[in-house]
Amino acid sequence: MSSSLVQISKPGLSPALLGERFADIRNVSLRLTAHLSAEDQMLQSMPDASPTKWHLAHTTWFFETFILEPNVPGYQSFDSRFKYLLNSYYKQLGAHPNRSSRGLMSRPSLEEVHEYRAHVDAAVLANIDEFDSKTLELLEIGLNHEQQHQELITTDIKHALWFAPLRPDVLASSTEGKAAPPMTWIDIEGGIHSIGHAGSEFAFDNEGPRHEVLLQPFKIASRAVTNGEYMEFMSDNGYRRPELWLSDGWDQLCAQGWVAPFYWDKDEDNTWWHFADDRMKPVDPSEPVCHISYYEADAYARWAGARLPTEAEWEVAAVRSPSRGTMLEDQVFHPQAATGEGFQQAFGDVWEWTASPYTAYPGFKPAAGAVGEYNGKFMCNQFVLRGGSCVTPASHIRGTYRNFFPPYVRWQFSGIRLAK
Amino acid sequence: MSSSLVQISKPGLSPALLGERFADIRNVSLRLTAHLSAEDQMLQSMPDASPTKWHLAHTTWFFETFILEPNVPGYQSFDSRFKYLLNSYYKQLGAHPNRSSRGLMSRPSLEEVHEYRAHVDAAVLANIDEFDSKTLELLEIGLNHEQQHQELITTDIKHALWFAPLRPDVLASSTEGKAAPPMTWIDIEGGIHSIGHAGSEFAFDNEGPRHEVLLQPFKIASRAVTNGEYMEFMSDNGYRRPELWLSDGWDQLCAQGWVAPFYWDKDEDNTWWHFADDRMKPVDPSEPVCHISYYEADAYARWAGARLPTEAEWEVAAVRSPSRGTMLEDQVFHPQAATGEGFQQAFGDVWEWTASPYTAYPGFKPAAGAVGEYNGKFMCNQFVLRGGSCVTPASHIRGTYRNFFPPYVRWQFSGIRLAK
Amino acid sequence: MSSSLVQISKPGLSPALLGERFADIRNVSLRLTAHLSAEDQMLQSMPDASPTKWHLAHTTWFFETFILEPNVPGYQSFDSRFKYLLNSYYKQLGAHPNRSSRGLMSRPSLEEVHEYRAHVDAAVLANIDEFDSKTLELLEIGLNHEQQHQELITTDIKHALWFAPLRPDVLASSTEGKAAPPMTWIDIEGGIHSIGHAGSEFAFDNEGPRHEVLLQPFKIASRAVTNGEYMEFMSDNGYRRPELWLSDGWDQLCAQGWVAPFYWDKDEDNTWWHFADDRMKPVDPSEPVCHISYYEADAYARWAGARLPTEAEWEVAAVRSPSRGTMLEDQVFHPQAATGEGFQQAFGDVWEWTASPYTAYPGFKPAAGAVGEYNGKFMCNQFVLRGGSCVTPASHIRGTYRNFFPPYVRWQFSGIRLAK
Amino acid sequence: MSSSLVQISKPGLSPALLGERFADIRNVSLRLTAHLSAEDQMLQSMPDASPTKWHLAHTTWFFETFILEPNVPGYQSFDSRFKYLLNSYYKQLGAHPNRSSRGLMSRPSLEEVHEYRAHVDAAVLANIDEFDSKTLELLEIGLNHEQQHQELITTDIKHALWFAPLRPDVLASSTEGKAAPPMTWIDIEGGIHSIGHAGSEFAFDNEGPRHEVLLQPFKIASRAVTNGEYMEFMSDNGYRRPELWLSDGWDQLCAQGWVAPFYWDKDEDNTWWHFADDRMKPVDPSEPVCHISYYEADAYARWAGARLPTEAEWEVAAVRSPSRGTMLEDQVFHPQAATGEGFQQAFGDVWEWTASPYTAYPGFKPAAGAVGEYNGKFMCNQFVLRGGSCVTPASHIRGTYRNFFPPYVRWQFSGIRLAK
């Protein structure tokens, strides 16, 4: 998710409006992390996850590196060593620290990182009126980049606190017994559809070009698979039947000892609990199942006599105009707008694994320079997830968004929607 | 490649003709291995590769397990322990040895494996007239399975001899200076095309169902990339420029120290040699580059300002009827037949990496039972290769064939064809 | 070094004096760490090293677990979860976190750990007059345990800051060109000598029983090997000649790429710098070489035509009475007292590797209970170091002290003294 | 065991007698391996173990390299590539293959290795009368080296057949219920004793110099610990009580899942079987326990309220003259001769772990040249075993012999004798 930073050509952006959004989004990162101590913000529990403080610093580095240094004459960098220190993986910008060493970044302190943020924010806002449209576009990318990291801040600290020596206690609490809405199958006609981003709103470059796809008629579930449904799979020995699993998935299951979704734990009474909001809560059967890998989503679908949708199927089903059945040209999804008829829980619950390996759309062209150096760099060994989760910033969600992770990943808020 | 064993519905097969093919193909395996000693046939140089003797035994086990035991009343198995010993990965058939322990199979001896082959061959041929059509179909699968292993016998022993403590000596020899045919770009129209297998000839189930795909207009190279062209990439620091590589590919390159195709070695005069036919030979600039990973193919294409074709593009370009531009319904490729106009070196040179991750065709349905247990089991983390190499049995090659390997694999005879 | 917690039988200790020492030593830990931020005190750069905060907390846990809980009726533990959280490896006390997860201990915060220390300190001092002699002995062990951890605090944070993404800068500075004292060989007579602790002063149990050893006549160097001498070994290809190395040492050298002592770095002018006091300083040829492994010490000695002393030789040479040539019965070393005649730099410079694997003295008996559970637990795969380093608390040093580490360890302040 | 190739200065050896011994010992290797097929002789089941064929070839290489090439003018080497191929680890002789690749040595074939042996044997015998005394000494070393490898041939092929995919079947058989001799404690006086080799018979250099040691009075068991006694330790949860184990041993136990000696397996009736002579046999409670690591020996001793003897204690107890209580000057042990009074099962049953890490005797001096290059090379991280096992050639056993292996090793025929 953190790799697609180059956007599609954009019409003019208003510096004033963008400045407001800049201030807002930068503030969100601080509010999101305010409850975490400087020590909490140091935690790195696996190489794939980063410390909170690093996220706060790296997103700032992005603005300093791509906006201020090339465009603000006389800009004084906060600390010249940060150019190296906070580079994630942009090889055109020179060497960078090994990812797994981010947890050793006691210096700069959190306080210094906050000062660094203030320093950069002030410089951006003081100069925003002078930026040309190309720079404003980069600024908008930087804001979307920061929103991606806001989601990662949440997923990464959850992982770290789970693995901390003091594991969260199990807290007695009753399940509420909410009923999930009934699941129905939505029929979608086959034929030529269009997917991908077009129009004037922001999107990452990997969401385009918008292009036609040929689909066969298919059915897609009206909502995500629930914990209750997933527990039936578990009860039916889903984690003990190799014939349900991809070969790589079964190897992973055996090596890791998977018996349930990540963050689940069973007490002596065989009640399942999961880790949420800093404590253990009973698993609610009506909620979408979450924190599962692609392998588990795929095995569940096979067990259920269904399959996962492709990303084209997912997008066509999710962003149909209720009246017309296909998306209008230039239409961009807004979470508050209507999705495809009957298509529920698409946005804001869980990311939904699709059957589509993450590859380039036809005609995809990498952008020039370091910011676009790696557009296609991750198009290998990953699967596309669609939708958006409960920890995705709402304004960051859209119907054409292509999130992607390797199939073994479970620390993201990832779930299942069936197709057939 | 070794995983797709279930074929599509087939009309009647003649027991007499099939018996002849059975005898022929079984003999090929013996001829192919006749120059290797019992000790050579023990070698296992990595978990992904298997000893020659194991290939000879496992292909025999396939016929005993799927043909003789269920269909020949009173059949006496050669050795009841082989049921476990020679199972590769069919979990519905019970436990199997760890793949990496195949090199420890000094017993049964090669002589016993030859006796085992004779025992099973005699039983098949003695009973072939009694087999029903379903069993004959399984027999045909078994023969195709054996042909797959014939190719693996060659790739695996090459790997083992390369890593043997006595590395092959460099033998002085002059390069012949053959000229490769000039490379041209073939234009293919966009629109709806059909790909995949249909008709009465044998194919593996993953080659179907035949279905329509929507393609944009594209260009595809008339032949494979040559060693000479690839050496230009090497000279242009192709192995030292991260911006040309997928992120996973670059990591692999660094971890493995890749600087050239596999099996290449440079002498003091900076001349490149490669390992072929048991000895070192000078690299011939006119031959297709071979033994490269998907990562290298992808990086080369990016360097060349092109890309790899998708498997649909490849198939459409390769099996067009010269006159009509699309493949005739039910048409099956025969290597001796004409391929798409101008499309050279498609079959019998090198397997060609495509840009397509290996996934199911729309409507693909796994077959029932152990033989089809794992049809989709490997549809993850692999890329499709098309065509066929110099070590693929000629009668095993066809235009719809989908070979697949993980992107880091280099011990197969794999090369590059460009598209754009 | 952190394993030998049980001391030899002791005469009465004065609660008042012990209380003073308790207050002093506990304060030293705080002073020693005062310059480190809460974030610095989180750092764990390898499983063998621990965060500063963990050291501060674990040493406190020792007093709470072994002194307060069994001996102070009604003692209220600061946090009941610490019993598990802060146990290092005492298996009789139940489960404990994995050593490598100590860096994930953001909670308790450093502030809470300081409160924990104050809570425990107050309880100890409030009750010290009531403790019986056995408890006072445990208290004295706890103080020595804390001093061991004071040294580890220094070695571990040095390691962490070295591996932090912001490596210390090289600071220009001139070497002072001090001359090391000339090295002479001290002759020691063979025959029966006594080594090991006896008497009324504190010592760890592994320092006894005092016993006789039979030594052949030997020579021992008057001082430690200097950086200058060690650089001659380096210049003479010491790190490239396998015949100088133990087999395991050579493997380690190759795997780790050793070319110099740990914490050394060479600039473009081929000047060697080393990391000290938070910055890079030029290597001073007159100082004892430091931060080398047993393997390097052993290889250097072989290169120099000498050998390392056994621990018995070392002790006999170091603690001879100047006049008598052997140690007086019950004599205990005090750093300020005279050591063996001519025997310089024994205490307070570098720990000196001996040729002696760490094993039990004849008649060594493990103590009962958890505190003595593991007396001999580490007597395997380690070598004894003698003396004491510049970061060992002075009052913790004595002539019979047996420090021990595995032969590959380099992050301790360890050097070389030759014998022959 | 394979490292100490340099012997102590020797008086004249008769070429005629030595030639006879040469022919005998070389023949033993062939007889010992005659029942193994060429394929069996390829097996390498772990890097620490080598294929039978490699042992046959490497021992031959020793004679070719150290005897023939330097001493026989005009000697024609059998194959010049063997100089590299068959070097185990003599770095002064140049590069050598990685140990773990020995299992990939299909070429030379076993037949060629037999021819190589015949070629070298003929050359040695044809020239033996011309060799000077130094060369004859090297020849005697070569014979002892070959005997070491004879034992390794047995231990290594046992390991390989145990890990072969076709594990040996359990064969029904009744235990014989033999009674072990009662165990008694032998009292040995303290004081100055002498240990180590002296005299005119052959010994490896690490067995000397003979020197005095000062021992405290001790008791040593009259025989080895039996399977029956060891099973009491197992029944008393010996493998589940960390307090009985060295820290490294407990880690190893947990990582490897040890619950019994190596090569043991339990059937459904909870009867223990062990692998011996190519098949599974019931564990005989009266036999010495075998195939245990140092860690297990040490834990057993602690559980039994005893300890392991040091190697000095072992030697003093084992080779006392019955009448005098100490070994006579220049006395060399012969297995047929009387051992220390009451001291049973010292030679020819199991190697007995001692508490002594493998280090140099005082005054030990490495020999010059490649053959002695590595005398002390393995004096680190290993423990001494004394005695000799049922698979040690009888003429290779002597009272001063110092075998050594790392403490985790279990594939040798190693057992326990207690002391206190």
By a Cβ cutoff of 8 Å, what residues of chain A touch chain C? 37-40, 42-43, 45, 81, 85, 97, 101-107, 109-110, 160, 163-166
Residue C200 near residue C188, CB atoms below 8 Å: no
**Residue B24 corresponds to which tokens in the numbers above?**
């022929």
In this complex, the chains that touch D, judged by 3 or more CB pairs closer than 8 A, are B, C
Interface test with A, best of C33, C39, C157 (most A CBs within 10 A): C39
| Whether D374 and C247 lie within 8 Å, measured CB to CB | yes
Residues from chain A contacting residue C39 (CB–CB below 8 Å):
38-39, 42, 106-107, 109-110
For residue A204, the cross-strand partners are: A7
Q: How far is A372 from chain B (nearest CA, A)?
A: 10
Chain centre distance of CA B69: 29
Chain D residue numbers with beta carbons less than 8 Å from the beta carbon of B39 are: 38-39, 42, 106-107, 109-110
Q: Which residue has the tokens 């030899």?
A: C8
* Contact state of D105 with B42 under an 8 Å Cβ cutoff: no
The whole-number average pLDDT for the span D307-311 is 97
For D313, name the nearest residue in chain C, comparing CA atoms only. C362
CA distance C230 to C207: 31
Residue of D81 and A176 predicted with greater confidence = D81
Domain limits of chain C?
15-162, 169-415
Min distance A108 CA to chain C CA atoms (Å): 9
* Per-residue pLDDT at B332 exceeds 70: no
Q: Provide the shortest C-alpha distance from residue B366 to chain D (in Å).
A: 31
| Best residue of A377, A384, A420 to probe chain B, by most B CBs closer than 10 Å | A377
Residue A417: pLDDT above 90? Answer: yes
Q: Which residue of A has its CA nearest to C98?
A: A165
How many inter-chain contacts (C to D, CB under 8 Å) are there?
72
Least Cα distance to D180 among D225, D136, D221, D240 occurs for D225
List of chain A residues whose C-beta atoms are within 8 Å of the C-beta of residue B91: 242-243
pLDDT digits (tens, 9 = 90+) for C244-274: 999 999 999 999 999 999 999 999 899 999 9
Question: What distances in angstroms separate CA B402 from CA A206, B139, B300, C211, D241, one per listed residue?
Answer: 27, 20, 22, 77, 56
pLDDT of residue B137: 92
Return the structure tokens found at C213.
């050893």
Provide mean pLDDT across the span A240-259.
95
Q: Touch between chain A and chain D (3+ CB pairs, < 8 Å)?
A: no
Q: Residue type for D23, please?
A: A
- Pick the residue from chain A with its C-alpha nearest to B305: A365
The Cα-based distances of A327 to A193, A201, A210, A226, A323 in angstroms read 9, 15, 11, 28, 10
The beta-carbon neighbor of A43 closest among C81, C106, C164 is C106
Give me the residue from B89, B243, B360 closest to A91, CB to CB.
B243
Whether C5 has a pLDDT exceeding 60, the answer reads no
Per the CB < 8 A criterion, the answer to whether B337 and B405 are in contact is no
Integer Cα distance of B316 and B186 in angstroms: 12
pLDDT surpasses 50 at C323: no
How many residues are listed for chain B in this entry?
420
Would you say residue D109 has pLDDT above 60?
yes
Cα–Cα nearest to D207, from D4, D56, D60, D63: D4
Which residues of B are less than 8 Å from A356 in CB distance?
359
Average pLDDT over chain C, rounded to whole?
89
**pLDDT at residue A277 tops 90:** no
**Could you tell me the pLDDT band of residue B169, with boundaries at 50, 70 and 90?**
low
pLDDT in tens, D351-400: 999 999 999 999 998 666 766 654 578 999 999 999 999 999 999 999 99
For an interface test with A, give the residue of B243, B245, B298, B404 to mutate (most A CBs within 10 A). Answer: B243
* Interface residues on C facing D, Cβ-Cβ cutoff 8 A: 3, 89, 91-92, 192, 211-214, 216, 242-243, 245-249, 294-295, 298, 355-357, 359-360, 362-363, 373-374, 376-381, 407
Query: pLDDT tens-digit profile of C124-182?
Result: 999 999 999 999 999 999 999 999 999 999 999 999 999 988 876 655 555 555 678 89
Q: How far apart are CA B404 and CA B350, in angstroms?
A: 13
Amino acid making up residue A343: F
Nearest CA-CA distance, residue B36 and chain D, Å: 10
CA distances to A164, A279, A405, C109 from A46, in Å? 12, 21, 15, 21
In this predicted structure, what is the pLDDT of residue A180? 85
Chains touching C, CB cut-off 8 Å, 3+ pairs: A, D
Asked if the model's pLDDT at residue B368 lies above 80, the reply is no
Mean confidence (pLDDT) of chain A? 89
Residues of B in contact with A89 (CB under 8 A): 247
The whole-angstrom separation of Cα D3 and Cα D382 is 12
Does residue A1 register a pLDDT over 50?
no
Q: What local confidence, expressed as pLDDT, does residue D207 receive?
A: 93
Using the predicted structure, report yes or no on whether residue A176 has a pLDDT greater than 90: no
Query: Once rounded to an integer, what is the mean pLDDT over residues C410-418?
Result: 98
Residue D326 has pLDDT above 60, yes or no: no
Contact across the interface for C355 and D357, Cβ inside 8 Å:
no
Q: Using one digit for the tens of pLDDT, what is the confidence trace for D28-50?
A: 999 999 999 999 999 999 999 99
CB neighbourhood size of D329 (10 A): 9
Query: Are C15-162 and C169-415 equal in CATH topology?
Result: no
* The CATH number fitting domain C15-162, selected from 1.10.10, 1.20.58, 1.25.40, 1.20.120: 1.20.120
Specify whether the backbone of D259 is left (phi greater than 0), alpha (psi in -120 to 50) or beta.
alpha
Residues of B with Cβ-Cβ distance to D166 under 8 angstroms: 81, 85, 105, 107
Rounded to whole angstroms, the Cα distance separating C193 from C215 reads: 7
CATH topology of domain C169-415: paralog of FGE (formylglycine-generating enzyme) (3.90.1580)
Residue found by looking up tokens 């989601």 in the block: A151
Contact at CB, A110 and C163, closer than 8 angstroms: no
pLDDT at D93: 82
Of D211, D214, D242, the CB nearest to C91: D242
Residues 6+ apart with CB under 8 A from C151: C1, C389, C391, C392, C393, C396
Cis-peptide, bond into residue D108, ω within 30° of zero: yes
DSSP state of D68: I
For residue C188 the two structure tokens come to 């020691």
Tell if the CB–CB gap between A101 and C166 is shorter than 8 Å.
no
- To which residue do tokens 């007889």 refer? D31
CB contact under 8 A, B355 and A359: yes
Q: Is the peptide bond before C51 cis (omega within 30 degrees of 0)?
A: no
Axis-axis angle for helices D247-256, D294-303 (nearest 10): 120
pLDDT at A179: 78
Cα of C214 to nearest chain D Cα, Å:
6
3-class SS letters over B64-129: HHHHHHHHCCCCCCCCCCHHHHCCCCCHHHCCCCCHHHHHHCCCCCHHHHHHHHHHHHHHHHHHHH
B40 contacts D165? CB cut-off 8 A: no
Nearest chain B CA: its distance from D306 CA (Å):
41
**D15-24: average pLDDT:** 96
Residues of chain A neighbouring C103 (CB-CB closer than 8 A): 103
pLDDT over 90, % of chain D: 76
Could B39 and D97 be called an inter-chain contact, meaning their C-beta atoms sit closer than 8 Å?
no
Task: Give dist(CA C89, CA C67) in Å, integer.
Answer: 18
Across the range B302-316, mean pLDDT stands at 97
Q: Do chains B and C touch (3 or more CB pairs under 8 A)?
A: no
Q: Are residues C109 and A164, on separate chains, in Cβ contact within 8 Å? A: no
Q: Nearest CB to C248: which of D89, D359, D380?
A: D380
pLDDT bin (cut points 50, 70, 90) of residue A168 is low
Task: State residue D223's pLDDT score.
Answer: 96
Contact residues for D380 (Cβ-Cβ < 8 A; gap 6+)? C246, C247, C248, C249, C294, C295, C298, C407, D358
Per residue in D67-95, pLDDT (tens digit) is 999 999 999 999 999 999 999 888 778 88
The H or E element containing residue B186 is strand B185-188
CA distance B355 to chain A (A): 8
pLDDT at residue B322 is higher than 60: no
Q: Strand, coil or helix: what is D72? A: coil
Inter-chain touch D106–B43, beta carbons under 8 Å:
yes
Place of tokens 């072990």: D180
Q: Which residues of A touch B381 (CB under 8 A)?
A: 248, 381, 407
**Rounded CA separation A280/A276 (Å):** 6
Q: How far apart are CA C408 and CA C301, in angstroms?
A: 16
The arithmetic mean of pLDDT across residues A150-156, rounded, is 97
pLDDT at residue number D328: 37
Is ipTM beyond 0.85?
yes
